[in-house]
Structure 1
Amino acid sequence: MNINSTKTPPAYFWIVGIIALLWNIFGVYNYIMQTFMTAGKLSSGSHTQQNLYEDLPIWFISIFSIAVFAGLLGAISWLLRKKVAYILFIISFLAVGIQQFYVLTEINPRDIFIPLTSIVIVVFLIWFSKRAIAKEWLK
């Protein structure tokens, strides 16, 4: 395998990379907004929301940060055409899986759209990055 591969990825490779980057930027934004929520902002929410945010375990917040930052670094690595994107997406998947399992079992078992969407997206990114490595688009 040639380390300095000149194989040019198709346009859809870049489209997927940009969408992955935007998705993960949105995830980092949500993490920052949740983690650094002020008391004033928290008090403007419903009593249920206040209890939810106050009762989140620290490990959940940690897993959330791993999920979104590994995904963001994976998307950046993807756009830089680096193989490490694959490993970062796997790390993100593991963290997302733990996080969403907790959401579905402890927080809100009825709201499955975002948890399942998050899992499907990261699984797709793992699959596609593995394919991109095989086609030498990631090096």
Structure 2
Amino acid sequence: MKKPSWAFWTVGILALLWNGFGGYDYYMTQSNNEAYLADYDQEMIAWMQAFPGWRTALWALGVWSAVLASVLMLLRKAWAAPLFVVGPVAIVIGLIQDVSAGGLGYYGATGLAMSGVICLVAVFLAWYAHRQKRLGVLK
């Protein structure tokens, strides 16, 4: 097994922090934490609460697979690579659903830009984990 570089550990820790916040956001949103949701527009909250079950499950799958993938990457397990692919796929499917269901107005420019950043980070992490697997860092 190849020894990981300092960059590997840096990316791994940042991935866990980034995806850990995603898990925190998911939990706080799904638990309807009033303090956390105080800055959200009431229409946005109502829209998210009206998600069909499969859409909420898709959100959970994307978030928690990324958290697990981050932990597995830090443990240098090869399963991190395919798990990191779940996130971008879930994000794209979710965005397609949201836009086709008229959700673009709820996102706004900032929300749409943030969704783009989240997707780009997820794609980068999937690429990075697969690269580390090919290099023998993940086994």
Structure 1's unaligned 5+ residue stretches are: none
Instruction: Report the counterpart of residue 15 of structure 1 in structure 2.
Output: 10
Of the three residues 73, 82, 87, the one matched with 1:87 is 82
User: Larger Cα Rg: Structure 1 or Structure 2?
Assistant: 1
RMSD: 2.3
Instruction: Report the counterpart of residue 131 of structure 2 in structure 1.
Output: 131
Going from structure 1 to structure 2, the CA distance change for 1:45 and 1:23 (only over 3 Å counts) comes to closer
Contact 1:104 1:115 in 2 (8 A): no
Pairwise CA distance, 1:17: 0.5
| Between 88-97 and 7-16, the greater mean CA deviation after superposition | 88-97
Instruction: Report the counterpart of residue 26 of structure 1 in structure 2.
Output: 21
Distance across 1 between alignment mates of 2:77 and 2:7:
17
- Where do 1:51-90 residues align within 5 Å? 51-90=46-85
Distance across 2 between alignment mates of 1:12 and 1:119:
21
Letter aligned with residue 26 of structure 2: Y
Distance across 2 between alignment mates of 1:120 and 1:75:
16
Structure 2's unaligned 5+ residue stretches are: none
Identity %: 28
Count of residues in Structure 1 that have an aligned counterpart in Structure 2: 134
In the superposition, the TM-score normalised over structure 1's length comes to: 0.84
Distance across 2 between alignment mates of 1:14 and 1:54:
37
Find the residue that maps to 2:32 and give its secondary structure.
coil
Contact 2:66 2:87 in 1 (8 A): yes
Letter aligned with residue 70 of structure 1: S
Contact 2:29 2:36 in 1 (8 A): no
In the superposition, the TM-score normalised over structure 2's length comes to: 0.84
Going from structure 1 to structure 2, the CA distance change for 1:48 and 1:13 (only over 3 Å counts) comes to same
Pairwise CA distance, 1:132: 0.5
Runs of 4+ in 1 over 6 A off after TM superposition: 39-44
